[in-house]
Chain A
Amino acid sequence: MSESLWQRLTGDVPRRALLALGGLLLLLLAAPFLLRLAPAGDYWLSLLILVVYFSYIGQAWNIMMGFAGQLSLGHALYLGLGGYVAAALYVNLGIGPWLGVFIAVAAAMLAGGLIGFLGFRFSLAGVYFALLTIAFAEFTRILFDHFTWVGGSGGLFLKVEADGSAFNLQGSPLLFYYVILALAAGAFVLCRFLLTSRLGHYWLAVREDPEAAQAAGIAVLRTKMLAVLISAGLTAVGGVWSAFYYKSLFPEAAFAMGRSIEVTLAPIIGGLGTLFGPILGSALLVGLGDLFTTLAEILANDYGVKAAGLKQIGYGIALLLIVMFRRDGVWPWLARRLGFERRPADDAGEGRP
């Protein structure tokens, strides 16, 4: 009854989907070199970095919402906490980010564990649980405003070091690109692994019907706790990356409500609970955002039309249209078009030991 990890991960995935995934990975690996040939390659690379970053944290958030069905609107807390912990350890104590990230993850998991326990133990569900997550993020923002060891409201800054290297996560965008790509690829594989595990099945059961799940022998509290812990931990790693990439942290921005919302958009647009949803969603979001920025610039520069807010309005309308016409996200629809759906259950059994 033992099966190889590869078999387990790819068991019921159509071959063409696997090939496409491999192709995508190769393309992403080669992208910085291909972009170098293009005009404004640095700019395109910075956009690509954003795409990969949002797909990574989207993947992490999706574990809670898409898999376990728990709505968190406070993921900026884990991003901010992760970033602040690693940055403060580095700036104040000289502890490098590769070590600091573990402490950052532990801190975020602690916070997530606390929120999860309070929320789930007292059966807060849906928007009420979401309110709790918002409250904690806001509370932490205010706390950090007055936390002088990390710079308070004045912010915390990472200097650009002349002798900086990958060892202290300093370097060119190229370094940051490959780090976040590795994280996103890792999160993708991890999520796939989790979905094929008992825990993954339990998450889906709890998402679909907690009462029936419990009657089927699932310890619901524990199952939800694992979702929030894993999600918070993964998100914190993204926070560390983001802190070292942008090199500055302000409580106002790090724990902002808007940042929490940003985390949720890619998986929602792409398809909740799907593995490709966060990736596709994030590409769409960054792409659309850039499209409308460029459009506004062209209107302003070439035609002298000052269309203030055009970007936000266009972006908003585009998202609205996507959500209206693809309620389950773009990916499930696209997957059907591309013939990437799971093999029917009949075939899946064959070749299984």
Chain B
Amino acid sequence: MSGAHLAVRSIGKRFRGLRAVSDVTFDVPAGAIHALIGPNGAGKTTCFNMIAGVFAPDSGTIALDDRPIAGLRPDQICASGIGRTFQIVKPFMGLTVEDNVTIGALARTRHVPEAREAARRLLRDLGLDDRRAKLAANLTLPDRKRLEVARALATGPRLLLLDEVMAGLRPTETDQMVAFLKDLNARTGITILLIEHVMRAVMALSQHIVVLHHGEKIAEGTPHDVTRDPAVLEVYLGQEDASSPPRSGGGGRRPEGEAT
């Protein structure tokens, strides 16, 4: 397994007149870890949804290793090598943790015991080993986030889209997740694009950051440059302290308020 190159060109999406995303272009080279940041409602999840095939972009193109994928169904996108997590986690509530991940792994093999074996390995890696016989409905939110990552990874992606998987994690748990993703990327070369508000994680993981605001790309570059970019600082309400900028200080809704 190795990473794939994602090329997003001028994609746009409207929801009944609301321009959720307009003319956004960026690249994620094979094997890289990039982040997509921006305030609430900036259009980050909408970008993910277009890449993952939940809906087609109104305009623009998306290519994975030069193969156009915009307009394909989510299961076809998954088969072409993109795994995604949901910001509002969507575990298969009535199934065990192990079954959740096994189902993901069945994207790569039709042999159930083999998929189960792969699922167990992933659960071990993500520290969910001791909860694998539990129903997903009985997991805490941090564990559900980890389950979300495990299921996405089980499908064997070459590009992993992570939508706020650190949100709601305690700092030690965040560090564990960061370490896991770093190691995964180093080991397998998988490409990772993450949406994250937890700047501690963004800074620790990503080599390159794309900043969205009101659906438009307002900046991109290295973490160092982006956190000193005047446009970015202005968006984040003039938080001058570049080491803890975007929104780490609160404000705006927390997307983890999801009821389950």
Contact = CB atoms under 8 A, between A and B. Distances in A.
Interface in A1-41: 1, 3
A207 B133 CA distance: 19
A61 interface: no
A201 B86 contact: no
Contacts of B90: 209, 211-212, 215
Nearest to B102: A201
B93 A219 contact: no
Contacts of A217: 75, 78-79, 104, 106-107, 155
A212 B155 contact: no
A196 interface: yes
Given A215-B74, A216-B104, A208 B93 contact: yes
Contacts of A212: 86, 90-92, 151
A201 B73 CA distance: 20
A345 B98 contact: yes
Contacts of A202: 103, 106
Contact of B52 (A3, A215, A220, A352): A215
B107 A216 contact: yes
A120 B141 CA distance: 32
Contacts of B52: 215
A337 interface: no
Given A202-B103, A212-B92, A1 B75 contact: no
A349 B129 CA distance: 13
Interface string A195-207: 0111001101101
Q: Determine the main DSSP class of A at the interface with B.
A: helix
A202 B102 CA distance: 10
- Most chain B beta carbons < 10 A, residue from A201, A207, A353: A201
Contacts of B54: 211
B88 to A, nearest CB: 10
B2 to A, nearest CB: 19
Interface in B60-94: 73-75, 78-79, 84, 86, 90-94
B112 interface: yes
Most-contacted residue by chain A among B78, B79, B115, B132 (CB, 10 A): B78
A48 B156 CA distance: 50
A214 B92 contact: no
A296 interface: no
B75 A201 contact: no
Contacts of A3: 113
A346 B98 CA distance: 11
A201 B113 contact: no
A210 B247 CA distance: 33
B155 A216 contact: yes
Interface in A47-94: none
B99 A201 contact: yes
